[in-house]
Amino acid sequence: MLDMSFGMLASGIVISAVGLGLLVWGKRQCEPAPLVAGIGLNVLPLVMHSVGMLWLASAGVVGGLAMIRKYGGAG
């Protein structure tokens, strides 16, 4: 069921905008971690059907990116 509430639409726009920024940054810097995080943040609003779960999953993606950047790994 497609949720067309204002909260879901606004959340999708904000999260996708952050994802687009990460995607462009990762592509320009040739870094795979922000590129994958950006793709993930752009896809999440399409597959999540709850505002709360969307924000939790987005926080997990951004937190995972922060952990990779801080402790090494790809990126």
Burial group, residue 47, by CB count within 10 angstroms (0-12, 13-18, 19+): exposed
What was the pLDDT predicted at 74? 52
What was the pLDDT predicted at 4? 81
Q: Residue 65: name the closest of 37, 30, 27 by CA.
A: 37
Helices and strands counted in the chain (H then E):
3, 0
64-71 mean pLDDT: 92
Quote the pTM value. 0.86
Tens digits of per-residue pLDDT, 22-64?
Answer: 999 999 999 999 999 999 999 999 999 899 999 999 999 999 9
